[in-house]
Structure 1
Amino acid sequence: MIASDLDGTLLRNDGTLSPRTLRALRTAESAGAEIVLVTARPPRFVDRLADAAGFGGTAVCSNGAMVYDIGTRTVVSSRALPLTTARRVATALAAAVPGIGFALETGNHILYEPAYRLRLSEDTGAELPVPSLADLWLADVPVTKLLAWSDRLDADALLAAAEAGAVDGVQLTHSGGRGLLEISASGVTKAGTLSVLCAGRGIDAVEVVAFGDMPNDLSVLEWAGAGYAMGNAHPSVLAAIATHTLSNEEDGVADVIERLFGAAR
């Protein structure tokens, strides 16, 4: 199995998949390897990529909160974050980081309150505003992630503030977004979900080659038999993972696959 993150890893900085990388993935598939996308992104983003590049198969979405069948566009399994937990965590974070804003990711939409002012072009059409923070906790939807955003702190500083603010009972991480902290149900990680998926397929960790660039990828890179940190990876990832490849702009994933499978560039 080849398990790859998307942003900053498989995709170039403009969000596209290079022809070289697509050829390398097709070569690996032809040789019998399964390609699994392992991303912080929700299914709606994976759908757009699948339409553009012809992807099928399986994706682990929302940092492990969802397993998604790309071909049939169905959620195979999910681990929701209880709204009561999200509210408790948001209360603690608001005390630790004044001015912080919150949103709820459902996989199909983002519900956000007025203080959450982060806007992403790829989420156009999926964003649903609510009048106040209190209204956010009235949402009658399954929540895959609580998103916390600050216009004053970067993602590393926000994560440190959350950890120092006695926020517990959840999984805290980030994927490099501008001042964005991602919060999932306790125990939800990319590696945890991928390991269950592999067990169901009879695939051992040693048979998995993984690629990633951000702190939310560390669990997978450490679990896989061969974990590769991208050349453009976060400093903590480069320090923790001994094996590196080229950057996403240099087709680092393709470079490894070509060597593993004897593919032409």
Structure 2
Amino acid sequence: MIASDLDGTLLRGDGTLSPRTLRALRTAENAGAEVVLVTARPPRFVDRLAAATGLAGTAVCSNGALVYDIGRRTVVSSRALSVAVARRVATAVAGAVPEVGFALETGNQVLYEPAYRLRLSEDIDAELPVPSLADLWLTDVPVTKLLAWSARLDADTLLAAAREGAGAAGREVQFTHSGGRGLLEISASGVTKAGTLAELCAGRGIDAAEVIAFGDMPNDLTVLDWAGIGYAMGNAHPAVLAAVPAHTVSNEEDGVAHVLEGLFGPPAAP
């Protein structure tokens, strides 16, 4: 199995999948490998990528909260974050870290309160404001992630402050970040990319030793550590480069393709 993150890993900085990398993925599939996308992104982003590239198969989305059948556009399994837990964590974090805004990711939409001012141009159609922070907790839609955003703090600093400030409430969730601008991602306790990928592999009879993983950010560390071999991208976060022994070149240099071509031979013809 080839398990790859998307942003900063499989995709270039402009969000595209290069022809070389797409050919390398096809070559690996033709050799019998399954390609699984393992991303912080929600299914709606994977749908757009699939439409542009023809990628199919399975994606582990929202940092492990969802398993998504790309071809059928169907969520196969999910591990939701309780809104009550999200509220307790947000209340604790807000009390410890001033000027933090919050949003709820549902897989289909991002519900955000006024203090959450992060806007993603590629996701604008899915962003839905609510009048106040209190209104955020009234949703009856299953939640995949609580998002916390700071205009003042970078993601690493916000992550450390939120973990400390959350106190006992922090034991009910999983904190991480994927390099977004001052953006912290909070999932249900025990939800990680590696945990969900391991369950997926177990159902397929695939051992960790048979998995080759690629990633660049702290939310990828669980997968890079669990897989038989994990590759940190040349552009990876310093903590990832320090923790992961195997490195490849950057996403802009088609680092994933660089490794796959060495393993599976030259890419198939365009």
Deviation, structure 1 residue 135: 0.2
CA offsets per residue over residues 66-117 of structure 1, 9 Å max, x none? 0000000000000000000000000011011111000000000000000000
TM-score with structure 2 length normalisation? 0.97
Q: Contact 2:233–2:255 (CA<8 Å) still a contact in 1?
A: yes
Q: Which moved more, 1:148-157 or 1:165-174?
A: 165-174
Structure 1 segments (4+ residues) deviating >2 Å: none
Q: Give 1:41-120 correspondences, 5 Å limit.
A: 41-120=41-120
Q: Distance in 2 between matches of 1:168 and 1:121?
A: 33
Return the alpha-carbon distance in structure 2 between the equivalents of residues 76 and 7 of structure 1.
23
Tell me what 2:247 maps to.
244
Separation (CA, whole Å) in 1 of partners of 2:198 and 2:140: 30
Give the distance between the partners of 1:12 and 1:235, measured in 2 at CA: 19
Q: For 1:15, give the aligned amino acid.
A: G
Identity %: 82
Structure 1 partner of 2:217: 214
Would you say 1:263 and 2:257 are equivalent positions? no
Mind listing any 5+ residue stretches in structure 2 that lack a counterpart? none
State the partner residue of 1:197.
200
- 2:104 alignment partner, SS class: strand
CA contact (8 A) 2:215 2:224 kept: yes
Q: State the Cα distance separating 1:164 from its structure 2 match.
A: 1.4
Cα deviation, residue 168, structure 1: 2.4
Q: Give the match's secondary structure for 1:254.
A: helix
CA contact (8 A) 2:25 2:257 kept: yes
Q: CA deviation at 1:162?
A: 1.0
* Matches of 2:133 and 2:163, distance apart in 1: 22
Residue 197 of structure 1 aligns to a residue whose secondary structure is helix
Q: How far does residue 169 in structure 1 lie from its aligned partner after superposition? A: 1.3
Deviations, residues 113-139 of structure 1 (Å, cap 9, x unaligned): 000000001111101100000000001
Measured after TM superposition, the shift of residue 262 of structure 1 is 1.0
RMSD over aligned CA atoms reads: 0.7
Is the partner of 1:32 in helix, strand or coil? coil
Distance 1:187 1:147 in 2: 17
1:187 aligns with 2:190: yes
CA distance in 1, matches of 2:163, 2:80: 21
Separation in structure 1 between the aligned mates of residue 12 and residue 267 of structure 2, nearest angstrom = 20
